[in-house]
Amino acid sequence: MAITRISTFAFSGIDPISVEIQVQISRGLPAFTIVGLADKAVTESRERVKAALISMGIALPPKRILINLSPADIIKEGTHYDLPIALGLLVALDIIPEEMLLNYAAVGELSLDGKVSAVNNVISATIGAVSQEKGLICPAIQGSEALLGGDIDILAAPDLLSIIQHFLGKQILTPPKMLQAPNTSHDYDLFDIKGMESAKRALEIAASGGHSMLMIGPPGSGKSMLATRLPSILPDLTAQQSLEVTRIYSAAGLLNGSVPIRQPPFRNPHHSASQVSLTGGGIKVKPGEISLAHHGILFLDEFPEFTKNSLEALRQPLENGKISIARAMNHITFPAKFQLIAAMNPCRCGYMGDTERECHRVPRCGEEYTRKISGPLLDRIDIVTYIEPIPPRDIVSIPNGEKSVKVAKRVKKAREKQFERQNNLNCELNNNQISLSASVTEIVEKASMQLRLSARGITRLLRVALTIADLSEKDEIDISSITEALSYRKRNLL
Ligand SMILES: Nc1ncnc2c1ncn2[C@@H]1O[C@H](COP(=O)(O)OP(=O)(O)OP(=O)(O)O)[C@@H](O)[C@H]1O
Ligand SMILES: [Mg+2]
């Protein structure tokens, strides 16, 4: 009995795994069965496929139809199996010649009238098709998205009928065109910020080396204002970074208009966000905020207000740049190399340290508030900066600050220097990759005793010091760079 085979993919995180759809039509009691660890969306695909075929006037024969999704030990989730299942049936029914589909993989959801609608992970499907040296059949509206994964034969089909006509040579589908990302634009500019020179300096260092940063300051001192201006001083993503980020957004179903993402993402989840929405996961596994911030910024405003579990879940990705989500039968990994920018008040009332305004519960008020930020999490924060609000009477008289484009140029130069030297940012360096002079070593040793720095703390200190040296175009860490870096490692209010 002949078996028809069509290629498609399952996705583990954003990685494609080859799946073969096997279709067998045999004599027996009429039935239509899908086997091979299919979830509910996949088993429901039976009804959509039947309806789509009927809409074209094709009725399934009263026979035993068996669909196997192989390998059968991988969980199959999602609606993108509709199209390959329908194509398998069309071949089994001798409507499309089998050899026509040998060189294609397919993904797409079917609606009841036979239209092919959008699915997640199309770019990753192209990457899978490239490795199999095949073309890809995908929804028409995702043709340009599919092209981002590789320059292969893409058939972007609006409906099932158009695929049949294409393979029968009646009406050839036009190849999709690559769409270009819009020009970079930013809503906010550093120009708006008056004064706050030391906070802006810390922001520039964080941007240059990709360092995590925590801003502590009273209400209205400009913490959120600073953080939202960070994107305006960051360079665009490299082609490789852009592909990774765009694939994650495609996996989350958040890719707007099929254009590649060129700017570092800025994610700003509210502190009421659940741990799953931050890390990813859920019944249908989706990337969380930390993955959506891959190669960009995760801004956590009101840092201690996040749940303790959410904050602790950041520890693993902050260290290794990815998140592993445990499921019943396997682990799913998403990339999560983000720059953490956090902001908080020093205490619940917000004014600890301001003798005129602080509440009577100081310092207990502050201790209770900051308790949620554990030692290990704090250890992973490279730069802690205390924001001094500018006096209200100065807000009008002080002139505006430097424009973001000017700062962005310095950041770009410092980043280029890092890529030339070590092919990544300073935030990814190991201890042994940073050389130190004898005098700097002495300062580091002394400071590590005084501040009781951990081994990780020292590595992170040296990374920041190197970024400071890079910004001032020095070839190695000197005394002023290490002294400035040390000032960002003091945690006196925490
Ligand atoms: N240095 C400054 N230059 C210009 N405007 C400022 C400055 N600092 C604060 N502001 C003004 O104050 C507003 C409040 O600042 P922002 O929201 O950033 O404070 P915050 O530190 O995040 O406060 P909170 O702790 O309450 O969240 C800004 O939107 C801006 O209008
Ligand atoms: Mg704020």
Pocket lining: 390 vs ligand 1, CB cutoff 6 Å: yes
- Please report the pLDDT score of residue 39 as a whole number: 82
Q: What are the backbone angles phi and psi of residue 340, rounded to the nearest 5°?
A: -85, 125
| pLDDT by 10s per residue, the chain, length 494 | 689 999 999 999 999 999 999 999 999 999 999 998 778 877 789 999 999 999 999 999 999 999 999 998 888 889 999 999 999 999 999 999 999 999 999 999 999 999 999 999 999 999 999 999 999 999 999 999 999 999 999 999 999 999 999 999 999 999 999 888 888 788 899 999 998 999 999 999 999 999 999 999 999 899 999 999 999 999 999 999 999 999 999 999 998 777 899 999 999 999 999 999 999 988 778 999 999 999 999 999 999 999 999 999 999 999 999 999 987 777 899 999 999 999 999 887 776 777 677 777 767 776 778 888 888 999 999 999 999 888 878 888 888 889 999 999 999 999 999 999 999 999 999 888 888 999 999 999 999 998 888 899 999 999 999 999 999 999 999 999 999 999 998 876 56
Pocket lining: 288 vs ligand 1, CB cutoff 6 Å: no
Gap between the Cα atoms of 94 and 61, Å rounded: 12
Taking a 5 Å cut-off on Cβ, the residues next to ion ligand 2 are 224
215 within 8 A of 385, measured Cβ to Cβ: yes
Pocket lining: 381 vs ligand 1, CB cutoff 6 Å: no
Neighbour tally for 424: CB within 10 Å: 12
Ligand that comes closest to the CA of residue 396: 1
Closest CA to 342 of 215, 205, 492: 215
- Distance in Å, CA 220 to ligand 2 centroid: 7
Report the DSSP pairing between strands 104-106 and 331-335. unpaired
Strands (E) across 217-369 are located at 266-267, 280-281, 286-287, 297-300, 322-326, 331-335, 339-344
- Distance in Å, CA 225 to ligand 1 centroid: 6
Report the atom number in ligand 1 closest to the C-alpha of 343: 22
Nearest-CA residue for ligand 1 atom 29 is 225
- Distance in Å, CA 391 to ligand 1 centroid: 12
Q: Count each helix (H run) and each strand (E run) in the chain, helices first.
A: 20, 18
**pLDDT digit string, tens, across residues 124-182:** 999 999 999 999 999 999 999 999 999 999 999 999 999 999 999 999 999 999 888 88
User: Residue 192, Cα to own-chain centre: how many angstroms?
Assistant: 29
Pocket lining: 345 vs ligand 1, CB cutoff 6 Å: yes
Closest CA to 224 of 177, 173, 271: 271
- Judged by DSSP in three states, 321 sits in coil
Burial of 371 (0-12, 13-18, 19+ CB in 10 A): exposed
Domains, the chain, ranges and CATH? 3-167 (3.30.230.10), 190-417 (3.40.50.300)
Mutate to test the pocket of ligand 1, among 224, 302, 344 (most ligand atoms within 8 A of CB): 224
- Distance in Å, CA 222 to ligand 2 centroid: 7
- Please report the pLDDT score of residue 187 as a whole number: 86
Pocket lining: 215 vs ligand 1, CB cutoff 6 Å: no
Which are the contacts of 208, defined by CB distance < 8 A and separation ≥ 6?
410, 411, 414, 415, 426, 467, 470, 471
Task: Show the DSSP H helices in 148-211 as ranges.
Answer: 160-167, 197-209
Gap between the Cα atoms of 285 and 322, Å rounded: 15
**pLDDT digit string, tens, across residues 7-49:** 999 999 999 999 999 999 999 999 999 998 778 877 789 999 9
Ligand that comes closest to the CA of residue 346: 1
Task: Show the DSSP H helices in 430-488 as ranges.
Answer: 438-450, 455-471, 479-487
- Distance in Å, CA 220 to ligand 1 centroid: 4
Pocket lining: 62 vs ligand 1, CB cutoff 6 Å: no
Report the atom number in ligand 1 closest to the C-alpha of 225: 18
Gap between the Cα atoms of 419 and 175, Å rounded: 37
- Please report the pLDDT score of residue 354 as a whole number: 72
269 within 8 A of 289, measured Cβ to Cβ: yes
Pocket lining: 220 vs ligand 1, CB cutoff 6 Å: yes
- Distance in Å, CA 399 to ligand 2 centroid: 23
**pLDDT digit string, tens, across residues 174-193:** 999 988 888 878 889 999 99
- Please report the pLDDT score of residue 216 as a whole number: 93
- Distance in Å, CA 341 to ligand 2 centroid: 12
Mutate to test the pocket of ligand 1, among 188, 225, 230 (most ligand atoms within 8 A of CB): 225
Report the atom number in ligand 1 closest to the C-alpha of 389: 8
Report the atom number in ligand 1 closest to the C-alpha of 221: 21
Mutate to test the pocket of ligand 1, among 197, 221, 301 (most ligand atoms within 8 A of CB): 221
- Please report the pLDDT score of residue 362 as a whole number: 67
Residues in the chain: 494
Which are the contacts of 474, defined by CB distance < 8 A and separation ≥ 6?
481
Pocket lining: 223 vs ligand 1, CB cutoff 6 Å: yes
Pocket lining: 225 vs ligand 1, CB cutoff 6 Å: yes
Pocket lining: 222 vs ligand 1, CB cutoff 6 Å: yes
Pocket lining: 199 vs ligand 1, CB cutoff 6 Å: no
Pocket lining: 398 vs ligand 1, CB cutoff 6 Å: no
- Please report the pLDDT score of residue 38 as a whole number: 78
Closest CA to 142 of 127, 155, 160: 155
